[in-house]
């Protein structure tokens, strides 16, 4: 299945023409993002928690302390919502009302499970590490037993999802196009800057190629 079925839960209602349901678009956005927000409802109280993540096939991988209330909630099989947003530009219209943003966002719905088998857990942690910076799993020390025991990893199966994308210039009211006001798009992108050495780093240690050439894909 190359698309998620459009159902009540994942249907894009506001400006539906911007909605996209194909896995290719949804997974590209997930793979480019670094921070997700996980939403849950606990005892009637909505909670949204930001955290890093990774996608593995048709699932989102999350990790944290075993005592984390979020991870306990997820591993219990309760439904969760995971969102990721990439900001591409500020859309500056002639009127304040029509100001907007160019963006790519994804909303994922699913249920999670705790990853307990050691090899699967290590594989999931490798996916998380490589999502942050490709090549880092090979460069850095792997988790030891104590660290594995101190880390909980869950896999949230993507049951349904949708993307919403806005591109292009502002959409002003026709009469406003004659106003003497600058309008257009101010592009914005996430950029890696020059790496900063740890003060305790050995002086002859070169910056790895994976760090010096880091960039998020699009």
Q: Angle at Cα 61 formed by Cα 115 and Cα 135, nearest 5°? A: 110
Sequence-ordered alpha helix ranges (H) in the chain: 23-32, 69-75, 118-132, 136-139, 145-149, 209-212
- Predicted TM-score (pTM) of this structure: 0.93
According to DSSP, residue 47 is labeled E
- Closest to 126 in 3D by CA, of 203, 179, 61: 61
User: pLDDT value at position 44?
Assistant: 87
Query: Of 114, 140, 136, nearest to 127 (Cα)?
Result: 136
pLDDT number for residue 62: 97
Half-sphere exposure of 78 (CA within 13 A, CB side): 15
Q: List, for residues 34-90, the tens digit of each pLDDT value.
A: 999 999 998 889 999 999 999 999 999 999 999 999 999 998 999 999 999 999 999
**Domain 16-212 in this protein, CATH class:** mainly beta
Of 163, 124, 125, 129, nearest to 28 (Cα)?
163
Domain ranges of the chain: 16-212
């Amino acid at each position: 299945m190359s698309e998620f079925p459009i159902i009540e839960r994942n249907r894009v209602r506001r400006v539906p023409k911007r909605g996209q349901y194909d896995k290719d678009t949804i997974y590209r956005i997930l793979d480019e993002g670094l921070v997700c927000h996980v939403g849950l409802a606990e005892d009637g109280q909505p909670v949204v928690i930001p955290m890093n993540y990774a996608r593995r096939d048709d699932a989102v991988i999350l990790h944290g302390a075993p005592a984390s209330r979020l991870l306990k909630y997820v591993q219990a099989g309760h439904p969760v919502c995971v969102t990721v947003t990439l900001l591409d530009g500020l859309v500056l219209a002639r009127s304040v009302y029509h100001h907007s943003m160019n963006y790519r966002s994804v909303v994922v719905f699913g249920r999670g499970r705790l990853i307990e088998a050691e090899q699967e857990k290590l594989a999931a942690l490798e996916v998380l590490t490589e999502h942050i910076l490709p090549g880092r799993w090979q460069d850095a020390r792997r988790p030891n037993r104590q660290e594995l025991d101190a880390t909980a990893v869950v896999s949230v199966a993507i049951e349904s999802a949708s993307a919403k994308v806005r591109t292009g210039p502002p959409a002003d009211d026709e009469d406003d196009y004659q106003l003497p006001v600058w309008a257009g798009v101010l592009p914005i992108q996430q950029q890696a800057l020059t790496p900063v050495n740890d003060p305790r780093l050995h002086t002859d240690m070169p910056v790895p190629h994976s760090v010096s050439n880091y960039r998020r894909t699009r």
